Amino acid sequence: MGIDLMSVWMVVALFVLLLAGVPVPFALASSGLIFGILGFGPELFGLLPLRVFGVVTNYTLLAIPLFVFMGVMLEKSRLAERMLEVIGRAAGHRAGGMAFAIVIVGVLMGASTGIVAATVVTVGLISLPTLLARGYSKPLACGTICAAGTLGQIIPPSLVLIILSDISGESVGTLFAGALIPGLMLSGLYLLYLVVMAWRRPDSMPPIPLAERQGISAGRMLVDLLRVVVPPLLLIVLVLGSIIGGIAAPTEAAAVGALGAIVLVAVTGRLNVAVINETVITTFKITGMTLFVLIAAQVFGLAFRGLGGDRLIDTLFGFLPGGVWGGIAFMMLLVFVLGFFLDWIEISYIVLPLMLPWFQAQGVDLAWLCILVAMNLQTSFLTPPFGWALFYLKGVSPPEIRTRHIYQGVLPYIGIQFVALLLLCLFPALVTWLPALIGW
């Protein structure tokens, strides 16, 4: 068996192990070790300790546990519950007001926590029974909650962007700046869809009854908005502004964000030993899982390149029609299909290290390409039948919510994400303008 052919069988073995239910890090490491040793012997892995050491000592990756800590800590403050209540009342006088509030809270929670599971579960528990009681369409309510909950995948500070920064070699600040406009654009498209639905089908998203709104004065509502929305907004501006503006490194800004989250939770009176203990344990679990996949990916990547996988990728892309655009379309389709079965971390470490070198050799802007991938990865949380956001919401839904309601509800939002992805392809300046403006 030729060396190049062994790299093909190594990829096949990886997917066989994944389909057999083997956890991703074990599948990556075992397929890489077995075929690497068969092809070259143990000497192929002489550089492996240095590569693993480089991972665990990567200063930028230290931002991951800090941002996770910030997100989990803010979740314990019941931030989403209070924001939904206040923003929902402020926008509740018009049809679709509560749905608008869910998207806005999704933006704020995404920018302050970046944890999809926490956002979807929290918003689902708080808002779904209320939306159903007020006569909202079941598919519309479910789809809006799922879509808003996944905005943390593209809106910085996102763990996806930090991982893509490590894989691509682009700075975290560049990807954060590049993702800001696309993330806000996607949120705006969600809101535009809700405006159209409120105009065409106001009965599917009725306003809050007048009797319920009359007891709250405009002054009280303004005070509530300032108390509930402004503090997390200031924390977001402080963290993102310091990174994008070049004032602080991502790790330093993440440390400030973690401290700010502790302060916000303390102000709400919810800071105690139990909350800190649960936050730390959750942070260790998420960080450990992420870094375990990253380390296992080093084994697979080292073996794949040693077996001539780079030449295999070059040959593959050479057969695709359309040149660079054909390669982009192929990678986007592959990422989308894998999103049916794998988590975003697994997709990132399996696909991107293999394909990004080819795009880099073709002169493609890797920052722009990473934002395309991040937008595409977001669909993996919404796409039936295995989208994680769908499972998260179903787990906390009332009995009258069926799986078909959730599937029906997310389909328009998946279409909106494809529209956003197409706009980023047609107008790369949506990604590149802000990093160029601030000199990244």
Judge if pTM exceeds 0.85.
Answer: no
Tokens at 29, concatenated: 């490491």
Q: If we measure between CA atoms, which residue out of 253, 220, 282, 383 comes closest to residue 74?
A: 282
- Residues 69 and 251: their CA atoms lie apart, in Å, by 12
Q: What percent of the chain has pLDDT over 70?
A: 89
Q: Considering Cα of 173, then 378, then 99, then 267, what sign does the dihedral take? A: negative
Find the range with the poorest average confidence among 61-70, 145-154, 203-212, 250-259. Answer: 203-212
SS3 381: coil
Q: How confident is the model at residue 146 (pLDDT cuts 50, 70, 90)?
A: confident
CB 440 within 8 A of CB 174: yes
Average pLDDT, the chain: 80
Mean pLDDT, rounded, for 93-104: 80
276 Cβ contact partners less than 8 Å away, ≥ 6 residues apart: none
Mean pLDDT, rounded, for 57-63: 78
Residue type, 163: I
- Residues 126 and 409: their CA atoms lie apart, in Å, by 18
Query: Residue 265 above 80 pLDDT?
Result: yes
Q: What is the pLDDT of residue 93?
A: 67
Query: Residue 429 above 90 pLDDT?
Result: yes
Tokens at 138, concatenated: 């079941």
- Residues 329 and 373: their CA atoms lie apart, in Å, by 11
114 Cβ contact partners less than 8 Å away, ≥ 6 residues apart: 67, 71, 152, 153, 155, 157, 158, 159
CB-based burial label for 117 (10 Å; 0-12, 13-18, 19+)? middle
Q: What is the pLDDT of residue 118?
A: 65
Domain boundaries, the chain: 3-438
Tokens at 227, concatenated: 């108390």
The three state secondary structure string of 291-355 is HHHHHHHHHHHHHHHHCCHHHHHHHHHHHCCCHHHHHHHHHHHHHHHHCCCCCHHHHHHHHHHHH
Q: If we measure between CA atoms, which residue out of 139, 136, 153 comes closest to residue 101?
A: 136
pLDDT in tens, 398-421: 888 888 888 888 899 999 999 999
First to last CA, the chain: 46
Q: Which of 69-73, 167-171, 287-291, 395-399 is modeled with the greatest confidence?
A: 167-171
CB-based burial label for 56 (10 Å; 0-12, 13-18, 19+)? exposed
38 Cβ contact partners less than 8 Å away, ≥ 6 residues apart: 6
Query: Residue 427 above 70 pLDDT?
Result: yes
Query: Residue 1 above 60 pLDDT?
Result: no
The DSSP result for 350-384, as a single string, is: HHHHHHHHHHHHTT--HHHHHHHHHHHHHHTTTST
Q: How confident is the model at residue 341 (pLDDT cuts 50, 70, 90)?
A: low
SS3 124: helix
Q: How confident is the model at residue 106 (pLDDT cuts 50, 70, 90)?
A: confident
Q: What is the pLDDT of residue 404?
A: 85
pLDDT in tens, 12-47: 888 788 778 777 788 888 888 888 888 777 776 777
CB 202 within 8 A of CB 95: yes
Mean pLDDT, rounded, for 337-362: 79
Work out the angle between the directed axes of helices 116-133 and 63-76 (0-180°, nearest 10): 30
Query: Residue 64 above 70 pLDDT?
Result: yes
Q: What is the pLDDT of residue 2?
A: 55
- Residues 93 and 5: their CA atoms lie apart, in Å, by 64
Which 8-state DSSP code applies to residue 383? S
- Residues 371 and 393: their CA atoms lie apart, in Å, by 26
Work out the angle between the directed axes of helices 3-19 and 309-319 (0-180°, nearest 10): 80
**Alpha-carbon 184 to chain mean position:** 14
Q: Which of the two residues, 118 and 23, has the higher pLDDT score?
A: 23
Q: How confident is the model at residue 426 (pLDDT cuts 50, 70, 90)?
A: very high
327 Cβ contact partners less than 8 Å away, ≥ 6 residues apart: 317, 320, 355, 358, 359, 362
Secondary structure percentages of the chain, helix, strand, coil, to 5: 80, 0, 20
pLDDT in tens, 228-250: 777 877 887 888 778 777 777 77
